[in-house]
Amino acid sequence: MEPEPLSFNTPEGDPVTWEVEAEPWHDPFERRLTLVVQGTRLVQRRVPRAAGREREYLYDLLENEARMGARLLTRLRRDYPPELPRLLGYSLDAEEPFVLLSDRRGEPVTRFSGALLIAEQRGLQVSLFRAVRILSACGIVHRRIEPATVRWDGTTVQLTDLSHATLAGSRRLRLGEAPYASPAQREGVGVASTSDDLWSAGMVLYRTITGREVTDRPDLAAAPALQPLHDVFSGAPPTAGEVLARLRAPDPMQSIPVEQDLALEEGRAAFDRAREARRDPAASGETAGNDRTRVQPPPAPAGEEPRRTWLTRWLPLAVLLVLLLVLWLVNR
């Protein structure tokens, strides 16, 4: 593989160019890269020109992946968890826009369906619910936790694909299919919630650990290893932290500081501004032409405007009456 330059923006918004060795595209959307200097491997995800012409929504999904990745970095910068994909850079103005992510680990969980040992079953549950707990602490709902987006390396889960993620509390849109999408998410009612991810994670675990297909709420009675999930599919599901406690696993947020990185926040703000400018160039031009702040006078207190109008109307007549009175007194 011949080295080639790759220009993009870091998560902080700084332009850089790296020398990389690129493998052939695994599919039209993804390939692996290797940094020439460090030897680090990473993943490049793009929107090809042809696919973008036919399905413009792919650009929105790619931008959302970058945005959610930047949000995670602002909160998990000092101790980034291995369960989540890490954003390394993006170039959304390129003819074929792309994002750069940490390399994939392990294999899709479909490779292990019904074949995990008891210790591995517990490890898979703990690691997946750790990922959901961390996303929840960062205010993010993944919305597409399914066998294709969950990988396992025998020790730790890697949850991939943040392109459909959204902020907790935002309007819930219809997305996904049974059995992995929750009923509320399939119907698009209410607001996005971590309960959606808990349902999806529970379904993935049931399918992987038991090897059985399921079309609705699964029967966990015949799966002792899944008893900690007994109410995940109920109308009042537990939190991810409560499920971890049942698995006798510590809450990851006790050791992972969630905070804001000012440099990354500014980078994310710059990303959002560039995104809006691409979507509405006219508005961007209008903003550029009116960048001087207009200072507006403070509004008049209630009742002051009528009094000012009364004085303006009657003051001249009052002055005239006073003058006439003075003249009368002088000539008397």
Over pLDDT 90: what percentage of the chain? Answer: 67
Every domain range in the chain assigned CATH 3.30.200.20:
1-104
Give the fold, CATH level 3, of 1-104. Phosphorylase Kinase; domain 1 (3.30.200)
**Integer Cα distance of 94 and 255 in angstroms:** 39
pLDDT in tens, 8-37: 999 989 999 999 999 998 889 999 999 988
User: Stretch 48-55: mean pLDDT, rounded?
Assistant: 95
With bands split at pLDDT 50, 70 and 90, how would you rate the model's confidence at 281?
low
Q: What is the pLDDT of residue 298?
A: 33
- Each residue of 162-183: pLDDT tens digit? 999 999 999 999 999 999 999 9
Task: Please check the confidence at residue 111 and state whether its pLDDT lies above 70.
Answer: yes
Closest C-alpha among 152, 161, 204, 198 to residue 179: 204
Instruction: List, for residues 249-262, the tens digit of each pLDDT value.
Output: 999 999 887 766 55
CA 141 centroid distance within chain = 7
| Whether residue 296 has pLDDT greater than 50 | no
pLDDT beyond 50 at 288? no
| Terminal CA-CA length for the chain | 115
Predicted TM-score (pTM) of this structure: 0.78
**Highest mean pLDDT pick, 23-37, 64-78, 188-202, 297-311:** 188-202
Task: Write down the pLDDT at residue 265.
Answer: 61
Would you state the pLDDT for residue 26? 80
Q: How confident is the model at residue 219 (pLDDT cuts 50, 70, 90)?
A: confident
- Supply the pLDDT for residue 156: 97
Please give the single-letter amino acid code of residue 128. L
Q: Which residue is listed with tokens 């007194």?
A: 329
Q: Where in the chain is the domain with CATH 1.10.510.10?
A: 105-257
For residues 261 and 271, give the distance between their C-alpha atoms in angstroms, rounded to a whole number: 15
Please give the Cα distance from 95 to 266 (Å, whole number).
25
Mean per-residue pLDDT for 78-88? 93
> What band does 214 get if pLDDT is binned at 50, 70 and 90?
confident
CATH, range 105-257:
1.10.510.10
**Whether pLDDT at 302 is above 60:** no
Position 283 pLDDT exceeds 70 = no
Strand, helix or coil for residue 87: strand
Q: The tokens of 118 are what?
A: 């008891």
Mean pLDDT, rounded, of the chain? 85
Question: Would the pLDDT of 190 be above 90?
Answer: yes
